[in-house]
Structure 1
Amino acid sequence: MPESTAKTVNCARKCHLFPNMEAILKNALHTNTLVPTGYHGGGCINDGEGYKTDQGVVFVKSNNKSEARRMFEGEYAGLKAIKDTNTIQVPNPIVVVDNPKGGAALALQFVDIKGLSKYKQLGEQLAALHLHNIELVKHGNPGYVGKEEGPLPVEKFGFHTTTCCGYIPMENEWCDNWIDFFTRQRLDMQLRMIETEYGDREARELWVELQHKIPKFFEGIEITPSLLHGDLWSGNAGDANKIPIVFDPAAFYGHHEYDLAIMGMFGGFGRATLDAYHKAIPKANGFSDRHQLYQLFHYLNHWNHFGQGYRVESINIMKTLLKV
């Protein structure tokens, strides 16, 4: 999620390893050398810093909250799943380690990421990612018959572990039906959090109406699970080694259109990306309404992260969808 869009959150923090983490990281990375490169990254949720090791440069993300291991394990699993499709470049995840005093860290391959310029190629590769499991479900994987390893089709919606969009954990319990999965494990979960934190009566009443209308937005289409990045705003994409790269996923298997929602909320991708994407995966009937429905999740998620500055957009989308 776009940490830089936080409205009133101060993100200026000094990046550094937690006390006692140097020895733990050296052991986990099998290195005698762990020297800061001077590169700092991160945002409102995690700190990040580059380090030289015996095997090359790594990027270490750290967080001192008790839920950090769960968050980083989800990111690790998402990066690995995307990497294993061989469709789009991601940083290689290396290891998650605990801080004995609380929190955790994730070590990744260091990649020199530039601003996104390969817009068309990103659209093509994102479509390839989304089609990867669809093709496996459709055709199977005869190349791996009789072998113990290899990609297997995923025929349900969800993921094998918790992933986080921002710092909020996403429920990824496997589900046979996309409408049920998205309604319960994405929208309803966010609105329950808003009810707990804000007791917003208007949001509650709109949601009571909207949840019964959601199946209408999916009439006439068939949905096969696609592996999704899950949080593909422009700050989570760029160029590296002259090709596109994506990172910081909140991965799960879902409807391919879901990934396009946040891409349209904060800009940065250019028309060429979506044109190339839709050349490979044409828009289905009802796309525009579902696009708003998927954007609703992200506005609600921002409301839960950053406060009522995102309330108006959330309420307006629910009202608009109820008029369809």
Structure 2
Amino acid sequence: MPVLNDAAETAIKEALKTAILEKTTKLSNDGVNKGVAYLTDKGVVYIKQNITPQAREIFDCEYESLEAIAATNIIYVPKPLAIVDNPLGGALFVSEYIDMKTLNQFSQELGQQLARLHLHNAVLGKQKLKGFVGKEENVQFVKEFGFHVKTRFGNTLLENEWCSDWPTFFVRHRLSYQFRLLEENYADAEARELWSQLLRKLPQFFEGADIKPSLLHGNLQRDNIAETNTHPVTFHPASFFGHQDFDLVTSQMYGGLGQAFYNAYYDIIPRAPGSRKRNQIYKLFHLLNKWNQSGEEHKKKAISLMKFLLKGP
């Protein structure tokens, strides 16, 4: 749970403009950041800490991701309030506190909302072509793939330099980066050789695919999904503008969403031709990330998937 000394408490009070900062018994732990709710004179807030050297960048990603999703007014996310340097190391992240429980009755609604989130940027693009400016004039249409800050997945920070096409973005900033880390961590000869072969084959998986930039949650797994008494909630996003299927593969790999969620999603955005095999490329990213973060117990699955992908789409 966050360790707040006098200097940290003062900094948070100043950031929130509150005279009261009293710890409650409400706790949370997402595996990377530990947090607790605090009472302020403006209500209850949630404060969590990250003690890694990358803490500030990690929280910057989350802050900007939450703001981007909230601006669409589609999926409910906690309102980010402040990021404060922790005098004891790392940083502290302050957000709205939401009383949440395990996702149950709103799984279908979340599927519908995610589909609408994924379509939101395309809708803005069509409105721009027609010269229409509505109530979302502060939300800008994005024509490229990427994001204005880094993306955090676990404790891995990923670059999001803008690219005009999705395959280039995904290979450069996701797969190639993971293989560079793999080389630094393990110098695995088999993985190196398989990647050199797979890299030449990857364009085939995207032939004929019409992929437009969608705002993604980016970290859609069971630990980051919940509900209140009235609606679903998502949190700890790692957003960027990418291919919508990346969110779906993430959710499938890390569980927590039932068939009602996927049925509701595909009712709005049907599966695209070639998606089942193409989505294995996104699965490879996650397996490589696990290998880099958690050790060689994930090597077998990653190697097996690369060999499968080499057979072609």
Say which of 13, 17, 20 aligns to 2:3: 17
Alpha-carbon separation, structure 2, partners of 1:233 and 1:164:
14
How many residue pairs match? The answer is: 309
Kept in 2, the 8 Å contact 1:75–1:250? The answer is yes
What's the CA shift for 1:148? Answer: 11
Kept in 2, the 8 Å contact 1:187–1:297? The answer is yes
Instruction: Give the aligned partner of residue 73 of structure 1.
Output: 60
Instruction: Give the aligned partner of residue 266 of structure 1.
Output: 254
Alpha-carbon separation, structure 2, partners of 1:100 and 1:16:
12
Kept in 1, the 8 Å contact 2:118–2:215? The answer is yes
Q: Tell me the SS of whatever aligns to 2:14.
A: helix
Kept in 2, the 8 Å contact 1:62–1:105? The answer is yes
Alpha-carbon separation, structure 2, partners of 1:174 and 1:297:
19
Kept in 2, the 8 Å contact 1:144–1:150? The answer is no
Say which of 85, 88, 101 aligns to 1:98: 85
Q: What letter matches 2:163 in structure 1?
A: C
Instruction: Give the aligned partner of residue 150 of structure 1.
Output: 138
Residues 86-235 of structure 1 aligned to structure 2 (within 5 Å) = 86-117=73-104, 118-140=106-128, 142-144=131-133, 149-235=137-223
Say which of 274, 289, 294 aligns to 1:301: 289
Alpha-carbon separation, structure 2, partners of 1:163 and 1:56:
30
Kept in 2, the 8 Å contact 1:37–1:50? The answer is yes
Q: What letter matches 1:16 in structure 2?
A: P
Say which of 54, 61, 68 aligns to 2:48: 61
Name structure 2 gaps, 5 residues minimum: none
TM-score by length of 1: 0.92
Residues 14-39 of structure 1 deviation map (CA, whole Å, 9 limit, x = unaligned): x1324331111111111111111111
Kept in 1, the 8 Å contact 2:80–2:95? The answer is yes
Q: Say yes or no: does 1:257 pair with 2:245.
A: yes
What is the aligned-residue RMSD (CA, Å)? 1.6
Residues 43-68 of structure 1 deviation map (CA, whole Å, 9 limit, x = unaligned): 33212111000110000111122211
Kept in 2, the 8 Å contact 1:36–1:50? The answer is yes
Name structure 1 gaps, 5 residues minimum: 1-14
What's the CA shift for 1:143? Answer: 4.3
Instruction: Give the aligned partner of residue 267 of structure 2.
Output: 279
What's the CA shift for 1:138? Answer: 2.8
Kept in 1, the 8 Å contact 2:74–2:116? The answer is yes
Structure 1: 4+ residue segments shifted above 6 A: none
Q: Tell me the SS of whatever aligns to 2:237.
A: coil
TM-score by length of 2: 0.95
Instruction: Give the aligned partner of residue 6 of structure 1.
Output: none
